[in-house]
Chain A
Amino acid sequence: MPHGSDPASRKTADALESREHKSLLRFITCGSVDDGKSTLIGRLLYESKMLYEDQLVALAADSRKFGTQGGDLDFALLLDGLNAEREQGITIDVAYRFFATDTRHFIVADTPGHEQYTRNMVTGASTASVAVILVDARKGVLTQTRRHSYLASLLGIRKVALVINKLDLVGYSREVFDRIEAEYRGFSREIGFEDAVCVPVSALKGDNITALSANTSWYHGPTLMEYLDRVEIEDEVQDAPFRMPVQWVNRPNSDFRGFSGRIVGGCVRPGDRIRVLPSGKESTVTRIVTRDGDLANAAAGQSITITLGDDVDISRGDMLAAAASPAGIADQLQAMIIWMNEEEMLPGRSYLLKIGAKTVGATIATPKYKVNVNTLEHLAARTLHLNEIGVCNINLDQPIAFDPYAQNRDTGGFILIDRLTGSTIGAGLLHFALRRSQNIHWQAIDVGKDAHALLKGQKPCVVWVTGLSGAGKSTIANLVEKRLHARGRHTYLLDGDNVRHGLNKDLGFTEADRVENIRRVAEVARLMVDAGLIVLVSFISPFAAERRMARALVTPGEFCEVFVDTPLSVAEQRDPKGFYRKARRGELKNFTGIDSPYERPENPEIRIDTTVSAPEEAAAMIVAHLIAMGVLDPP
Chain B
Amino acid sequence: MTTLTHFQRLEAESIDIFREGIADSTRPVMLYSMGKDSSVMLHLAMKAFYPSMPPFPLLHVDTTWKFREMIEFRETITKKLGLELIVHVNPEALAMAINPFVHGSAVHTDLWKTQGLKQALGKFGFDAAFGGARRDEERSRAKERIFSFRSAQSRWDPKMQRPELWRLYNARKNKGESVRVFPLSNWTELDIWQYIHRENIPIVPLYFARKRPVIMRDGVLIMVDDDRMPLHHGETPVMRKVRFRTLGCYPLTGAIESEADTLPAIIEEMLRAKTSERQGRVIDFDSTGSMEKKKQEGYF
Contact = CB atoms under 8 A, between A and B. Distances in A.
Interface of A: 1-4, 8-9, 12-13, 15-16, 19-24, 52-55, 62, 78-84, 86, 92-98, 105, 107, 119-120, 122-123, 126-127, 235, 238-239, 247-248, 250-252, 256, 258, 260-262, 264, 267, 289-292, 297, 299-303, 305, 316, 340, 352, 354-355, 357, 409-410, 413-415, 417, 421-424, 427
B53 A21 contact: no
Contacts of A24: 6, 9
Interface of B: 1-9, 11-13, 15-16, 19-20, 22-23, 46-53, 135-136, 138-143, 149, 158-159, 161-168, 170, 172-174, 177, 185-186, 188, 190, 194, 197-198, 200, 262-265, 267-268, 271, 273-276, 279, 288-289, 292-293
B141 to A, nearest CB: 8
A248 B23 contact: yes
A443 B182 CA distance: 48
Contact of B50 (A1, A12, A19, A291): A291
A417 B166 contact: no
B168 A414 contact: yes
Contacts of B4: 299, 301-302
Nearest to B173: A422
B19 A247 contact: yes
Contacts of B136: 97-98
Contacts of A299: 2, 4
B295 to A, nearest CB: 10
Contact of B166 (A81, A127, A302): A127
Contacts of A80: 139
A247 B23 contact: yes
Contact of A22 (B6, B162, B194, B198): B6
A127 to B, nearest CB: 6
A417 B170 contact: yes
A513 B87 CA distance: 54
19 contacts: A3-B264, A9-B268, A12-B268, A12-B271, A21-B6, A78-B139, A81-B139, A92-B159, A97-B136, A251-B52, A258-B51, A291-B47, A302-B8, A303-B16, A410-B167, A415-B163, A415-B168, A415-B170, A424-B162
A24 B165 CA distance: 18
Contact of A16 (B185, B194, B200): B194
B50 A81 contact: no
A165 to B, nearest CB: 22
A247 B21 CA distance: 10
B262 A2 contact: yes
Nearest to A6: B264
Given A82-B143, A262-B167, A252 B52 contact: yes
B169 to A, nearest CB: 9
Contacts of B167: 127, 262, 264, 410
B264 A4 contact: yes
A4 B197 CA distance: 12
A250 B12 contact: no
Given A120-B163, A239-B1, A291-B46, 13 more contacts: A8-B268, A12-B267, A20-B6, A21-B5, A52-B279, A62-B288, A82-B143, A98-B186, A127-B165, A248-B49, A302-B8, A303-B11, A409-B166
A292 B198 CA distance: 13
Nearest to B177: A422
A79 B166 contact: no
B112 to A, nearest CB: 24
B14 to A, nearest CB: 8
Contacts of A22: 6
Contacts of A238: 1-2
Nearest to A105: B6
Contact of B5 (A20, A95, A250): A20
B19 A260 contact: yes
Contacts of A267: 2
A331 B9 CA distance: 33
Given A302-B12, A417-B170, A289 B50 contact: yes
A79 B139 CA distance: 7
Nearest to B141: A81
B135 A96 contact: yes
5 nearest CB pairs, A to B: A81-B139, A422-B172, A299-B2, A303-B15, A291-B50
B52 to A, nearest CB: 4
Given A12-B271, A290-B50, A415-B165, A86 B289 contact: yes
A348 to B, nearest CB: 21
Contacts of A260: 19, 48-49
Contact of A54 (B8, B19, B275, B289): B275
B165 A413 contact: yes
A235 B275 contact: no
A15 B264 contact: no
A168 to B, nearest CB: 27
A123 B23 contact: no
Contacts of A250: 49, 51-52
Given A81-B140, A94-B143, A422 B170 contact: yes
A21 to B, nearest CB: 6
Nearest to A97: B142
Given A301-B8, A302-B12, A357-B20, A413 B168 contact: yes
Contacts of A262: 12, 15-16, 19, 167
B20 A247 contact: yes
Contact of A98 (B2, B53, B135): B135
Contacts of A417: 170, 172
Contact of A83 (B52, B161, B263, B292): B292
Given A97-B142, A316-B23, A2 B49 contact: no
Contacts of A84: 158-159
A93 B2 contact: no
A424 B170 contact: yes
Given A235-B3, A252-B51, A290-B47, A93 B158 contact: yes
Nearest to B293: A83
Contact of A340 (B15, B163, B197, B271): B163
Nearest to A250: B52
A93 B161 contact: yes
Nearest to A58: B288
A95 B158 CA distance: 11
A421 B200 CA distance: 43
A107 B6 CA distance: 12
Nearest to B47: A291
A303 B19 contact: yes
Given A52-B276, A93-B158, A267-B2, A305 B50 contact: yes
Contacts of A94: 143
